[in-house]
Amino acid sequence: MARKLNFGAGPSQLPLPVLERAAQEMLNYHDSGMSVLELSHRSALYESLHNQAIADLRSLLGISEEFSVLFTQGGARMQFDAVPLNLATRFPVGNYLVSGYWSDMAEVWARKYTRTQAIPYSNDSTLWNCGSPGYFYYCSNETIDGVEWLPSAADLQSVSSLPIVADMSSNILTTPIPCSSLGVFFAGAQKNLGPAGVTVSVVRKDLLGSAQSFAPSLLDWQLLDQQNSMYNTPPTYMIYMLGLYLDYVKKRGGVQSFYEESVRKSGAIYEVVDSSQGFYTSRVPRARRSRVNIPLSIRNGDAALEKEFLLQSERRGMTQLAGHKSAGGLRVSLYNGISEADTQQLADFMREFAAEHC
């Protein structure tokens, strides 16, 4: 059975060497006579892989000791609660830049805990500086809308002098991050970091320690920080898999190399779209196009042709190309586990399919 190519929005395709190593070490990790699944989270062997994953995240993303690197559970979704639960006592307004589905969801959810302000995602970012005495929140890539915003440190400084929070679930590790201008950023692992079940939450240390009194323990960043994310049993195997993924990224040249690759990969797909004479269409303005999630229509929403595209792509071993149920159409997700060759295979098929049906 040949490997399928998974262009889904997550859980995502993992690099083959990561899976092969996991399979090989399943029964006996580092000559311990045990699987990682069985290791006590208090054992030296587990602690070592846990701390190595943190160290690798720090070095790959340039995260200084000013920040705490936490492993949380519940995905980005749980951080939608954790952000206001941890910040709103000191920064009582949540200023949410709404660029799509997920930032909208985060804003709506934050209303449970604090006053919020939804800031429309206009072209002129100087309008975003609301001046409210709160935190500023953005989602660096919207998986459903296919919109990406990659601000520089200077961009962020011009937006807000207050803590800036970023949901980087879908593009972390695909691009360098302006860490020094951020207060908090987080990402579920299941797109570019590893499997579902562990989330990386990076918090500037001066923002710890202000959780609301009714914050559940596992949403209180300070509690997690004090225990090196082992306040209770962490999802040990998922952290191990994340570690294997980070190791792979390091060996393949680190974040800059994956950034360049992602530009080439998404470029190859957009090139097919833009040269298709309207066969494939993207509704996202060029300046905002995402490198990692590309929602598309065929002939502006020809459902029968889109269905045929999905059928044929599936037959060629390319899967999960349907759009999000709320958006319909197609969607191409190009996370770090998708290689340039994988992308080329899809681009070739897209060209063929367009030629056949033009």
Q: How far is the CB of 259 from a copy of itself (least distance, A)?
A: 23
Among residue numbers 280 through 339, which ones bind a copy of itself (CB under 8 A)?
Answer: 317, 319-320, 337
Structure tokens at 89: 């006592």
Q: Applying CB under 8 A, does 227 fall inside the site for a copy of itself? A: no
Q: Active-site residue among 81, 167, 220, 342?
A: 167
Q: Applying CB under 8 A, does 20 fall inside the site for a copy of itself? A: yes
Q: Which residues pair with 93 in a beta bridge?
A: 115
Return d(Cα 132, Cα 139) in angstroms, integer. Answer: 19
Known catalytic membership, residue 102: yes
96: left (phi over 0), alpha (psi -120 to 50) or beta: beta
Q: Applying CB under 8 A, does 71 fall inside the site for a copy of itself? A: no
Known catalytic membership, residue 128: no
Q: Active-site residue among 56, 81, 102, 221?
A: 102
Q: Active-site residue among 56, 145, 149, 191?
A: 191
Of 213 and 277, which CB lies nearer to a copy of itself in the complex structure?
A: 213
CA neighbours closer than 13 Å in the CB half-sphere of residue 210: 15
Residue window 229-258: x/- pattern of binding to a copy of itself, with contact defined by CB under 8 A: --xxxxxxxx--x-----------------
Cβ atoms of 284 and 146 closer than 8 Å: yes
Q: Applying CB under 8 A, does 219 fall inside the site for a copy of itself? A: yes
Q: Applying CB under 8 A, does 37 fall inside the site for a copy of itself? A: yes
Binder among 59, 217, 227, 300 for a copy of itself (CB under 8 A): 217
Per residue in 272-304, is it b (16+ CB within 10 Å) or e — as a string? bbeebeebbbbebeeebbbbbbbbbbbbeeeee
Name the one residue in this structure whose structure tokens are 């797909």.
269
Known catalytic membership, residue 247: no
Residues touching a copy of itself: how many (CB under 8 A)?
A: 69
Among residue numbers 119 through 178, which ones bind a copy of itself (CB under 8 A)?
Answer: none
Q: What letter does residue 250 receive in the DSSP assignment? A: H
Binder among 94, 100, 178, 188 for a copy of itself (CB under 8 A): 188
How far CA 355 is from CA of 82, 276, 280, 318, in Å, comes to 49, 9, 11, 19
Count other C-beta atoms under 10 Å from residue 315's C-beta.
8
Return d(Cα 204, Cα 212) in angstroms, integer. Answer: 17
Q: Applying CB under 8 A, does 2 fall inside the site for a copy of itself? A: yes
Return d(Cα 190, Cα 280) in angstroms, integer. Answer: 28
Residues in touch with a copy of itself (CB under 8 A): 1-4, 6, 8, 10-14, 16, 19-20, 22-24, 26-28, 31-35, 37-41, 43, 73-78, 80-82, 85, 109, 112-113, 188, 190, 195-198, 213-214, 216-219, 231-238, 241, 317, 319-320, 337
* Catalytic positions: 102, 167, 191
